[in-house]
Every structure is written in C-alpha cells, then in structure tokens.
Structure 1
Amino acid sequence: MNTIPDPKTTAYAPAERATLHELKNQNQLMKHDNILTQVADSVSSLVVILNKERQIVYGNKTFLGMLGTTASENLIGKRPGEAINCMHASQSEGGCGTTQFCSVCGAVNAILEAQQGTQSAKECRIITNENDALDLKVTATPYYLNEEQYIFFAIADISNEKRRQTLERVFFHDILNSAGGISGLSSIMPMISDMDEMTETAEIINRAANFLVDEIKSQRMLTVAESGDLVLSFTQIESLTILKELGELYSQHEVIRDKILSVDKNSVSGQAITDSVLLRRVLGNMVKNALEASLAGGKVTLFCSLMEETLRFTVHSDVYMPQEIQLQLFKRSFSTKGIGRGIGTYSMKLFGEKYLKGKVGFESTEENGTTFFIEIPQEHPEYKENK
C-alpha cells in the first residue's frame, strides 16, 4: 500500500496517512466483508476498524450513534482520538498518536501492540476539547484481509466505574478518617479537666468538621459540574484577599505539617467579576496538591499578577514532577496516590476552563520546581452578556 509522504514530525507514533483513494477502497472492502461488519454491528460496544496508519475505515452503528450521526463519510480517515475530539489530537500536525502526551495513552499503545500481531487491552483516559472526561477500556485485535493488516478496535466506557471508585475512596477513606478523628476527640472531651486543653480540643474538632463538610461539598459540586448543571454565581473578588484567605485556611489544614505557606510580597491587587466559590476551589486544590507533594521544610508560595484584562494566580513549590506524571495531569482518574484518586487536577481544569472561562496549566522543571496557574478574565463573558 502506498501512503502519502508525510514530512510532519512525530513525538511518538508514525504520522503518515493513507491517500483518500486508498481510504475509499478500504471502506468499500469493509462493507463487502459481511462477516466482519456484521460482528461489529451486532455488539453494543463502540467498534471501529483501523488501517495500518491507525485511520478509521469503518465504524459500527453504535460508534456512529455516539457521535450523533448515521453517516460514516465524515468519520473515514480520522484516527480514534480525532473522532472523539481528544484535546491532544489537534495539538500536532500529525494528529492523534503523534504528541508526547500520546506516549502514555492506552488507546494508541494498544493499537501499536496489536500491530505486532497480538491482541492488546488497556485503559485510556481522555479529556476532550470541551473539557469532558472519558475513562475508556480499549481492546485492539489484529485482523488480516487480502493480506493487509487491520485493527478491530473495541471501546468500552468505564467512566461510571471510575466515578464509583472515586466516591468510594472519598466516602469510605477520607471522610471516614475525618469522622473517626472527630469521634475519637469527642470521646475524650469528658475526661479533660483543663479549660485551655478543652478549648484547644474543641477547636481541632471544629476544624475537622469543617474539612469534612468541605470535602462533601466538593464532591457534590464536581458531580453537578460534570452533568452540566452547575449554575454560576457572580461576585467581585479582589486578588490579595483571595490569597490571604487561602493562606489562612491551609495554615490550619493537616497537609501543612512542617511546611511553609506564604503569599509573595510582590503580588498585585486586582479585581475580577467571577464565581468566587469555584475560583477558591481551583486555587485550594492547587495549594493542597503543592503541600502534599512538598517535603518537610518545603515552601509553597502564592502569587497574583495582573495582565491585560486577566488575573493570573500561581501556586509554586520547589518539587519537580517527573515527565510521566506531567503528561497525564488533568485526566480524571489519573493519580500518583492510588486507585480511585486523582480528581483534584481534573476538577481544576473543569472548573477553571469550562466554567470560569479561564486557562489552567502548569510548568515544572528540575531547576525551578513546579508552578500551577489559573488565568481568569476580569469580567466573566456570561456576566458581560447578561448585565
């Protein structure tokens, strides 16, 4: 088979693509191979058939239905990530599979392994251009037709399973631990005779109860946001006040142990009309992650600067993130902390970009450590439209 000579460079899988003529012939061949297409159309899973360039030459009815169409013409020639609108598929001229992020993608790795002649099944986490999160299990199976290799690529949506694991972790681990701490401290209150000690214990119980309520609210907010039903409440915020409040809040948090949290003295005062609850939630997750990642004696610094019609908040720590972790941040189920964790950075992206209409990102180098940032417009577009 002749492929289009493709000068595009790739950071991972080959970028070359079949010609339009070849794609048309491959699609017709699939339609005439009744056994293969009948199998594809008889299952409830999402199924596409790929050529050796990882391009779709056939999509089953379930896959087309997921895309909201019955016509396959616009699908043929796309790669899987391009078809489902993966945010990384448009970041390189070579498309799906050719960025550095693709090196940790379960989908493209399953396809590449299947091209070596063996079936491969992997999990895949995808963030779309609309900031929707997909948790998928993919199975790639090699298939030969007219001496050409194709890949029978089946996709199962396991998002609900991943969400269940996260909720179980939150409610059966974090919240149970907090509730256990409150219960334990409450049980010794009657035995305390010293008033100062009693007051101190009562304050600890109150903080633990507040963190418990905040964790529950956070989960509820995330669930509502993912369903698209989150209603924004606009207020005017002042940047230095936000940073001061965050500093005070997390100076009392359990993750602060033996670490230093401060506000950069060069931070500037700026105002914005936005949803203050969501902004605090994004910045709070940044601060919490930075403190958790820092070693004893580590410093975490909060900063704010004013750019053209934009407020930029940053959270800096001295800790460097390995490249493999950097490539998977912001994906819903990815975490360095174990199964069922990893919604903190994902919620930053969801709240900060989809709802606050800002930009969320990070920079991490061995020399300078890690800085997370969020940039928000000084006047939220929806507020501007409705005022």
Structure 2
Amino acid sequence: MPEKTKTRFAPAERAEQYQLETDSLVFANNIILNKIAEAVSTMLVILNQQRQIVFANKLFLDFLDLTNSNSIIGKRPGEAVNCIHAFAEEGGCGTSEFCRTCGAIGAILESQMGLKSEKECRIVTCSQDALDLRVTATPYTDENGEFTIFAVHDISHEKRREMLERVFFHDVLNSAGGISGLSSILQEVNDAGDIKTVAKTISRAANNMMDEIQTQRQIIAAERGDLEPVLAFSTAMTLLNDVVDLFSKHEIVKDKELVISENLDDISIYTDPVILRRILGNMVKNALEASPSKATVSISFQEKKDTILFSVHNNSWIKREVQLQLFKRSFSTKGAGRGIGTYSMKLLGEKYLKGKVWFQSSQEKGTTFFIAVPKNLDLK
C-alpha cells in the first residue's frame, strides 16, 4: 500500500487521472453550465473532492492568461495562480503550515462539510505579485459525485487602494499634525535657542512626511512594474550608518537603543542604495516598534560569496499565527489597513534587487529579519 503524502493541514491525496478526465469531460459537455459560466461576470471554477480543478470559465482563464483549461485541470487553486506556498510541501496547495490561514482553502473545506462559505484571502505569487481575493465556495452534488463551485473575485485593486489611502492619510496626517502643533508653539517662543530647536524639529517632521509620500509612490510604481532601480556604488557600512542616522532623532527610538554590530569589515556594493535603505529602514522600524523600553535593536551584515547578508535583530518574538501571514499585503498587527512594511520589503527586495527576504523568530532567540542581495546587481 503506497505511503500517504504528508500534510500540515488539508488532505494531500489527489484523484486518479482517469477520474479527472471523466469529470472534466462531463462539465465541458454540460451546455447549460457553460452558458451560465460565460454569462456571469465572476471567475468560476469547479473543484472535485480533492480540491482539484475540473472546470474553469473563460474569466478565470483570462485572469491566468490562458487560452484553454488543459494546463490547469487537476491543479488546485493555489497551484493555478502560482501561490508561493502551494509548492512548499510535496502535497501541494492546502498542505503547508501557511495554508492554515488561507481563506480560500478554509472556504473550500467548509463547503465540503455542506456549508456555503465566503472568505477573503491574500496570496503572494512566486513572481512576488500580491493578490487579494474574495472567494465563495458552494457545495454541489449530482450523479457524478460531490463538487465545490468556487467563485473568485479579484479585489486586489480595491484592497490596494484602501490600504494605501489608510496608510498614507494616517502617516501624513500624523506628520502634518506634528508640524501644525510645533508651528503654533513657534509663534509663542521668544528665545532664539528655543526657536532654533523647534525649527529643527519641524524640519525633521516635514522630511518624515516627504519620506512617507515617497514611500507610497515607490510602492505603487513597484506594484505596477514601473519602478526602475537606479544603480550606484556604495558600501554596506555607509548604508547602515545612513539608517542609524535616519532613526537617531526619530520618536520611535525613545528610550531604546539602535546599534551597529562591532568588528565589521566594510564591503563595497553595487545596487540601488535608495531601495535598499528603505528596506533596511522598514526592518529597523518594525524591530523598534516591537521592542519594549530600554531594549536594544542591532543591525549587521556579512559577506556570503557573491552576496551581502544584512540583518536586523531584536529580542521580541512573533507569534506563530502572525508569522504565517507576515509578508502578505494589508496584513498587520497594528490594525486594519496598516500592513505595508513587511510586504514592501519582500516586493522591493526580491523583485527589484534580486535578493531574498526572510525572518527567524523564537522566544529563545528573538526575531531577526534578513535580506541577502547581490554585491553587484545585474538587471539584465
């Protein structure tokens, strides 16, 4: 008896090839189903009991840039859309630890228990595209067996706009509020030294606001594929010093300490230093926000053959249910619409700097974010 494929969540078993072909042919020849499927303005997929695709309408095929369904019959939804976690385990879509937080697989499993289920899911593809989907899974039974009618709505644009608007207005209003308050104080201050101090603070707040605006513009361009890296020579130590200087008077530091590891041998790097600084800055900001009073956040780098590995460490740890969703767009522990930092790290670092972004977190060792980037970036 063959050994069952291991899974960390949903069953991994798949239907026999002959059964897939039989089911697919039945639905392909169902004239009424095909007319309905092409008449609705919704992506429709029919799944068998093993969560494999046996039918897909033209809208779903168009979404995948396919002319026919031959290449996706037998695949599971995550495999069809190229979800980064669909290939993490031998069992495929639905069998990894990450799948436990996926709304799509959750809805499908509920439909297999006889319930109609609607959920939202966030998917990062292998090419680092981010999808926000609203899915509805409805049980369907006929003489051929039990199936799931799986309706998919792409709400990526809606979620992207909502997230960017909330983040943008939240951060810009905070900065503008600070500038307004300091400006009011400035009108009441007579001492030249105090005026200079307040003016410097206003300048920093204005620079922070400009940086937030630039961040939003950069991410929008990156998601559209319009971002063009500007390559230049720098050094790893210069980049870390720039990040430390950026946060040296930032209110987020307060009574915490941000340090560069000692005894580092500087390394030359040819990359887009602006993008890399932004990624490192996001890592540092997250580490500082997660750290309690009097904590230390350390940043470091080391040479790894043709790459440079940058790291940011703090002593706090991330709960497992948060770890599983950390790089998804619009997921955040800070409230609705606040998830952008970790998502942008991966988007910018992997898609545009040809690097790799990941993290490690445990109660014993705390949390470390890493980015490994080429020492000499070649965009060809």
TM over 0.5: yes
Counterpart for residue 78 of structure 2: 81
Counterpart for residue 115 of structure 2: 118
Q: Secondary structure at the match of 1:272?
A: strand
Once the 2 structures are TM-superposed, how far is the Cα of residue 235 of structure 1 from its aligned partner? 0.6
CA contact (8 A) 1:256 1:291 kept: yes
Counterpart for residue 305 of structure 2: 308
Q: In 1, distance between residues paired with 2:178 and 2:285?
A: 20
Q: Secondary structure at the match of 2:364?
A: coil
**Superposition pairs for residues 179-198 of structure 1, below 5 Å?**
179-198=176-195
Counterpart for residue 139 of structure 2: 142
Q: In 2, distance between residues paired with 1:75 and 1:11?
A: 24
Partner residue of 2:64 out of 55, 62, 67? 67
Partner residue of 1:250 out of 238, 247, 250? 247
Tell whether 2:167 aligns with 1:170: yes
Q: In 1, distance between residues paired with 2:350 and 2:19?
A: 40
CA contact (8 A) 1:135 1:333 kept: no
**Corresponding letter in the other structure for 2:101:** V
CA contact (8 A) 2:269 2:376 kept: yes
CA contact (8 A) 1:6 1:15 kept: no
Once the 2 structures are TM-superposed, how far is the Cα of residue 147 of structure 1 from its aligned partner? 6.0
Tell whether 2:280 aligns with 1:283: yes
- Unaligned stretches of 5+ residues in structure 2: none
Partner residue of 1:96 out of 93, 96, 110? 93
Once the 2 structures are TM-superposed, how far is the Cα of residue 124 of structure 1 from its aligned partner? 0.4
Q: In 2, distance between residues paired with 1:17 and 1:67?
A: 22
Counterpart for residue 156 of structure 2: 159
**Corresponding letter in the other structure for 1:218:** T
Counterpart for residue 348 of structure 2: 351
Partner residue of 1:8 out of 5, 9, 13? 5
CA contact (8 A) 1:268 1:306 kept: no
Once the 2 structures are TM-superposed, how far is the Cα of residue 203 of structure 1 from its aligned partner? 1.0
Once the 2 structures are TM-superposed, how far is the Cα of residue 75 of structure 1 from its aligned partner? 1.2
Q: In 2, distance between residues paired with 1:328 and 1:204?
A: 36
Q: In 2, distance between residues paired with 1:266 and 1:48?
A: 57
Once the 2 structures are TM-superposed, how far is the Cα of residue 5 of structure 1 from its aligned partner? 5.6
Q: Secondary structure at the match of 1:381?
A: coil
Counterpart for residue 224 of structure 1: 221
Partner residue of 1:335 out of 329, 332, 336? 332
Deviation digits for residues 83-114 of structure 1, max 9, x if unmatched? 00001111111000000000000100110011
CA contact (8 A) 1:5 1:16 kept: no
Q: Secondary structure at the match of 1:184?
A: helix
Deviation digits for residues 180-226 of structure 1, max 9, x if unmatched? 11011112212101122111111110110000000000000000111
Q: In 2, distance between residues paired with 1:194 and 1:168?
A: 40
Once the 2 structures are TM-superposed, how far is the Cα of residue 374 of structure 1 from its aligned partner? 0.4
Once the 2 structures are TM-superposed, how far is the Cα of residue 152 of structure 1 from its aligned partner? 0.3
Tell whether 2:28 aligns with 1:31: yes
Once the 2 structures are TM-superposed, how far is the Cα of residue 163 of structure 1 from its aligned partner? 1.5
Q: In 2, distance between residues paired with 1:252 and 1:332?
A: 29
Q: In 2, distance between residues paired with 1:327 and 1:375?
A: 21
Q: In 2, distance between residues paired with 1:163 and 1:70?
A: 28
Partner residue of 2:51 out of 29, 49, 54? 54
Comparing 29-38 with 194-203, greater Cα deviation is found at: 29-38
Q: In 2, distance between residues paired with 1:172 and 1:358?
A: 30
Once the 2 structures are TM-superposed, how far is the Cα of residue 141 of structure 1 from its aligned partner? 0.4
**Superposition pairs for residues 346-385 of structure 1, below 5 Å?**
346-382=343-379, 385=380
Counterpart for residue 238 of structure 1: 235
Q: In 2, distance between residues paired with 1:38 and 1:11?
A: 38
CA contact (8 A) 2:120 2:133 kept: yes
Once the 2 structures are TM-superposed, how far is the Cα of residue 71 of structure 1 from its aligned partner? 1.5
Sequence identity percentage = 53
Aligned residues: 380
Once the 2 structures are TM-superposed, how far is the Cα of residue 170 of structure 1 from its aligned partner? 2.5
Counterpart for residue 322 of structure 2: 325
Comparing 87-96 with 52-61, greater Cα deviation is found at: 87-96
Once the 2 structures are TM-superposed, how far is the Cα of residue 6 of structure 1 from its aligned partner? 5.9
CA contact (8 A) 1:125 1:133 kept: yes
Q: In 2, distance between residues paired with 1:109 and 1:376?
A: 36
**Corresponding letter in the other structure for 1:167:** L
Deviation digits for residues 16-60 of structure 1, max 9, x if unmatched? 000110000011121233333332222111110000000000000
Once the 2 structures are TM-superposed, how far is the Cα of residue 267 of structure 1 from its aligned partner? 2.9
Distance verdict in 2 for CA 1:292–1:179, change over 3 Å: same
Q: Secondary structure at the match of 1:375?
A: strand
CA contact (8 A) 1:125 1:135 kept: yes
Distance verdict in 2 for CA 1:6–1:58, change over 3 Å: farther
Q: In 1, distance between residues paired with 2:125 and 2:105?
A: 16
Q: Secondary structure at the match of 1:255?
A: coil
Partner residue of 2:212 out of 202, 215, 224? 215
